[in-house]
């Protein structure tokens, strides 16, 4: 018998999501059926709703989730029924040009199928009541009671990890912490600036702390987020409405600029500030994003002097290595996640949750399922 469940479906950009009953297909050999227990509302989902990220419709959004494995296909590996899992949105083939060069985020299958919002085999897994296909955002579509993913996307974590905090590891926390720990090359005592203190930026602050940074300068427009950044490890905060982040970077470092700048604000002015605030030979990591068709301009001199600039999407994660490590760091009290959750909502509250995210009132609203 086919599985029917409730999910939030987007039929067109700039319209509300509707809660509908969808029908799941039978599992393919390497598929995994996950009962979603918690899913975070991320800015990437909001970009699809607003139309700045363009995907085929109708579609189930959601790509930051945790749950329990209900069933696995006969050829699924690395996961079994009953496992508690955090879901990864970056499946990869393991043998294309980019996978062979250890960059699974650029996997040719991932990049080819992602914009179509279908699994690697091209076959959709869910349909609406009228028989139309429903796409899955980022190979997940986790704003529903269930979702079907490939076995490599379901990453077991300790069962004592709460689902509403575990889900955050799947995107925002992994992106921010990973940028600092996996890519930042932050040495003990280094100076780091984090511009934008939403969920990703606050995770980057924590990653810098865990890496041993000596000075961590947090920059945001919201004083409340700067207070939270201080709790998570920032040694100073700059209110971008009244303060000068570039001047602060110079002042903190005897005029050089900071060793590493991590940008997670997603604005043209923030991108420009990163290249001015970093020292010669330092590293800039861009995590935020704007509409893919928009331009950003820079003062050419700010790009000189051997500065290294890297755009990063997922913190160079290796999910089977990193997700359990971050879960254990939370359970050991080294990684703060409770403070990232602004509110917990039911699936029916999803549109209000995205409205709060758009207004800048929420760090993370998390949908929880009983």
User: Tens digits of per-residue pLDDT, 17-68?
Assistant: 999 999 999 999 999 999 999 999 999 999 999 998 999 999 999 999 999 9
Report yes or no: 60 and 143 within 8 Å, Cβ to Cβ. yes
pLDDT given for residue 160 in this prediction:
97
Per-position b or e across 284-304, b if 16+ CB within 10 A of its CB? bbbbbbbeeeeeeeeeeebee
pLDDT given for residue 2 in this prediction:
80
pLDDT given for residue 256 in this prediction:
97
- Rounded to a whole number of angstroms, the CA Rg of the chain reads 20
Q: How far apart, in Å, are the Cα atoms of 138 and each of 125, 141, 168, 171?
A: 13, 7, 16, 11
pLDDT given for residue 25 in this prediction:
92
3-state secondary structure of 225: helix
Domains and CATH numbers, the chain: 3-156+337-368 (3.90.180.10), 175-311 (3.40.50.720)
Residue stretches of the chain with pLDDT short of 50: 1
Specify the pTM.
0.94
Residues whose CB is less than 8 angstroms from the CB of residue 299 and which lie 6 or more positions away in sequence, other chains included: 272, 275, 276
Q: What is the DSSP letter of 99?
A: G
The Cα 266–Cα 146 span in angstroms is: 31
Q: What is the DSSP letter of 121?
A: T
pLDDT given for residue 4 in this prediction:
96
Q: What is the DSSP letter of 255?
A: T
The Cα 347–Cα 367 span in angstroms is: 6
The pLDDT tens digits of the residues spanning 319-340 come to 999 999 999 999 999 999 999 9
Closest CA to 3 of 102, 104, 150, 127: 127
Residues whose CB is less than 8 angstroms from the CB of residue 325 and which lie 6 or more positions away in sequence, other chains included: none
């Amino acid at each position: 018998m086919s599985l029917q469940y409730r999910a939030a479906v987007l039929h067109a950009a700039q319209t509300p999501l509707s809660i509908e009953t969808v029908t799941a297909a039978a599992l393919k050999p390497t598929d995994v059926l996950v009962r979603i227990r918690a899913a975070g509302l991320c800015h990437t989902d909001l970009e699809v709703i607003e139309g700045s990220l363009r995907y085929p419709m109708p579609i189930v959004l959601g790509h930051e989730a945790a749950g329990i494995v209900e069933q696995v296909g006969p050829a699924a590996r690395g996961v079994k029924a009953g496992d508690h899992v955090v879901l990864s949105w970056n499946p990869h083939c393991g043998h294309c040009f980019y996978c062979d060069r250890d960059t699974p985020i650029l996997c040719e299958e991932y990049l080819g199928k992602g914009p179509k919002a279908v699994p690697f085999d091209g076959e959709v897994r869910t349909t609406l009541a009228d028989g139309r296909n429903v796409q899955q955002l980022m190979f997940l579509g986790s704003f529903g009671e269930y979702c079907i993913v490939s076995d490599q996307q379901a990453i077991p974590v300790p069962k004592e990890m709460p689902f509403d905090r575990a889900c955050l590891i799947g995107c925002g926390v992994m992106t921010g912490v990973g940028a600092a720990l996996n890519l930042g090359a932050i040495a003990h005592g280094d100076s780091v600036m984090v511009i934008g203190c939403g969920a990703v930026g606050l995770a980057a602050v924590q990653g810098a702390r865990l890496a041993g940074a000596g000075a961590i300068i947090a920059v945001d427009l919201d004083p409340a987020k700067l207070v939270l950044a201080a709790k998570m490890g920032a040694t100073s905060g700059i209110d971008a409405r009244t303060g000068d982040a570039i001047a602060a970077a110079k002042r903190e470092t005897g005029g050089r600029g900071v060793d590493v700048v991590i940008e997670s604000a997603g604005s043209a002015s923030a991108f420009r500030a990163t290249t001015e605030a970093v020292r010669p030979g330092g590293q800039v990591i861009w995590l935020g994003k704007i509409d893919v068709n928009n331009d950003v301009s820079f003062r050419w001199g700010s790009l000189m002097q051997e500065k290294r600039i890297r755009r990063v999407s997922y913190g160079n994660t290796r999910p089977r290595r990193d997700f359990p490590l971050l879960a254990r760091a939370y359970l050991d009290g080294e990684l703060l996640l409770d403070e990232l959750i602004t509110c917990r909502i039911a699936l029916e509250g999803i549109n209000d949750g995205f409205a709060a995210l758009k207004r800048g009132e929420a760090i993370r609203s998390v949908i929880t399922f009983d």
